[in-house]
């Protein structure tokens, strides 16, 4: 449910992007129902649940999985938090509902195929393609649990709080003493002592302490063996029958582990991602979609960030972060232009290349070929410096394209901002 506490530092690095931004983090995000299924395989207590894509699936699930239940929890499945307080574009309020069984179909029908807007989706929202039907648990105590990676200790760290189910950010701000953190030695793994500290931080009132310790160890095993970057449960709760249960599931996985976590990465739902970023990943481009009006194509992450900064300095807003890298092919440059021009908000494009390994003539050829394949309806400002710069400029000049050339980065940003507002 809560993401901000764990991703706050990452968010700050892209603060130039505007109010709503998409963050390309080093992790795969999966749905709650997928996370619950994975946790169940590790012996972690989770509610009985079934994912449904259609009303027919909902009807089958009720008959086969919940034949004797009187109430069920209906959860919209999107890759964003704040679902319970979200609002659908059709006016229906709340992405999580506890309802009587005979009302499940109606509620699911108001969710499936609809756009849910939460505090984490931005105003555009995300489409609900599945709902997760869960048994209604009798929860008597709600707590917070998470495992993430901590740079200061160079290893995993477990975060626990005896209060949960609500915004962990607010609790951390108002009651910092409630938040306990237990760093784990990555070489030794989690010890009984480590797990006991976590359980003491959770302060369960009814569940057996030793059983809770075992659950914590299983959660840590899942985190390590699955190459997680985040495992968050809010709430992790005690039930009326004295069980510690993961009532919610949020898991992220390290993209670098895709080669050995094929089953997990097969769960990726690209419909929940920015389509521009999906296309960029296919072309092996480092792209992050933002909400500005000036499309950027730059080589090198540092230069790309500097380009975004100087655009802001001159009163403009970057539409993206795009690093074509030091060894991009002409084809990748063409794909980059296709992605930039597919964004309706882009009013101008700024190409800023400092050729080292990346040659200016390759970029220039890519720009010319992109112009042949894509209708360039917006001004293009080009600043080229470095390896083969003269050849690059000659290619652009002989192409007959209408380009705005710039002598340096400051000049390029100023011209791009002017072009985007004219």
The mean pLDDT of 64-79, rounded to a whole number, is: 95
Would the annotation count 45 as a binding residue? no
Please tell me the predicted confidence (pLDDT) of residue 152: 92
With b for 16 or more beta-carbon neighbours within 10 A and e for fewer, the 326-350 pattern comes to: eebebebbbbbbbbbbebeebbbbb
pTM for this model (two decimals) = 0.77
Long-range contacts: 393-398, Cβ < 8 Å, 24+?
Answer: 393/360, 393/364, 395/361, 395/364, 395/365, 395/368, 396/364, 396/367, 396/368
The predicted pLDDT at position 26 comes to 52
Ligand-binding site membership of 295 (annotated):
no
What pLDDT is attached to residue 419? 93
What pLDDT does 360 receive? 87
DSSP class of residue 241 equals: T
List 132, 220, 232, 293, catalytic entry: 232
**Catalytic one of 33, 132, 144, 287:** 144
Residue 347 marked in a binding site? no
Average pLDDT over residues 155-167: 89
Cα(397)–Cα(403) distance, integer angstroms:
9
Report the C-alpha gap between 401 and 351 in whole angstroms: 14
- Look at residue 92 in the predicted model and tell me its pLDDT: 96
Residue 13: per-residue pLDDT: 35
Express each pLDDT in 22-39 by its tens digit: 334 456 999 999 999 999
Do the annotations mark residue 69 as ligand-binding? no
pLDDT of 87 reads 96
Q: Range with the lowest mean pLDDT among 102-111, 198-207, 280-289?
A: 280-289
* Region 387-397 average pLDDT: 89
**56 among known catalytic residues:** no
> Which helix H or strand E contains 58, and what residues bound it?
helix 55-64
Residue 238 in contact with residue 162, Cβ under 8 Å? no
259-288 pLDDT, tens per residue? 999 999 999 998 888 888 888 888 888 899
136 is in an annotated binding site: no
CA–CA dist 325, 332 (Å, integer):
10
Coil vs helix vs strand at 130: strand
User: Measuring CA to CA, how many Å separate 160 from each of 171, 180, 181, 291?
Assistant: 12, 5, 7, 35
Residue 314 confidence (pLDDT): 95
Tell me, what's the pLDDT at 81? Answer: 85
Specify which of 169-173, 283-287, 312-316, 339-343 reaches the highest per-range mean pLDDT: 312-316
Q: Using 50, 70 and 90 to split pLDDT, how confident is the model at 7?
A: very low
**In this predicted structure, what is the pLDDT of residue 212?**
97
Is residue 144 part of the annotated active site? The answer reads yes
């Amino acid at each position: 449910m809560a993401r901000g506490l764990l991703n706050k530092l990452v968010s700050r690095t892209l603060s130039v992007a505007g109010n709503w931004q998409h963050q390309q983090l080093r992790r795969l995000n999966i749905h709650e129902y997928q996370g619950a299924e994975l946790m169940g395989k590790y012996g972690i207590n989770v509610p009985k649940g079934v994912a449904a894509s259609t009303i027919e699936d909902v009807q089958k699930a009720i008959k086969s999985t919940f034949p004797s239940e009187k109430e069920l929890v209906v959860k919209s499945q999107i890759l964003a938090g704040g679902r319970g307080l979200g609002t659908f574009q059709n006016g229906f309020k709340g992405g999580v509902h506890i309802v009587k069984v005979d009302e499940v179909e109606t509620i699911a029908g108001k969710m499936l195929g609809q756009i849910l807007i939460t505090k984490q989706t931005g105003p555009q929202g995300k489409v609900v393609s599945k709902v997760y039907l869960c048994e209604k648990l009798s929860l008597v105590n709600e707590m917070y649990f998470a495992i993430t990676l901590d740079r200061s200790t160079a290893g995993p760290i477990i975060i626990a709080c005896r209060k949960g189910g609500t915004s962990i950010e607010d609790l951390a701000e108002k009651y910092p003493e409630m938040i306990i953190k237990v760093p784990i030695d990555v070489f030794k793994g989690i010890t009984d002592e480590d797990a006991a500290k976590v359980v003491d931080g959770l302060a369960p009132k009814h569940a057996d302490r030793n059983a809770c310790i075992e659950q914590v160890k299983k959660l840590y095993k899942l985190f390590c063996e699955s190459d997680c970057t985040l495992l968050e449960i809010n709430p992790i709760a005690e039930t009326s029958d004295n069980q510690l249960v993961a009532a919610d599931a949020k898991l992220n996985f390290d993209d670098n582990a895709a080669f050995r976590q094929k089953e997990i990465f097969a769960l990726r739902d690209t419909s929940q991602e920015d389509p521009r970023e999906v296309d960029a990943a296919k072309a092996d481009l480092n792209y992050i979609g933002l909400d500005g009006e000036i499309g950027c194509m730059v080589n090198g992450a540092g230069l790309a960030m500097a380009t975004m900064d100087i655009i802001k300095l001159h009163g403009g807003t970057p539409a993206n972060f795009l690093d074509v890298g030091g060894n991009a092919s002409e084809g990748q440059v063409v794909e980059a232009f296709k992605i930039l021009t597919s964004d309706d908000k882009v009013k101008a494009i700024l190409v800023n290349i400092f050729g080292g390994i990346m040659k200016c003539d390759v970029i220039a050829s890519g720009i010319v070929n992109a112009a042949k394949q894509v209708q360039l309806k917006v001004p293009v400002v080009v600043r080229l410096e470095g390896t083969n710069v003269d050849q690059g400029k000659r290619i652009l000049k002989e192409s007959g394209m209408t380009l705005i050339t710039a002598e340096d980065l400051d000049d390029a940003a100023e011209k791009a901002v002017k072009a985007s507002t004219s």
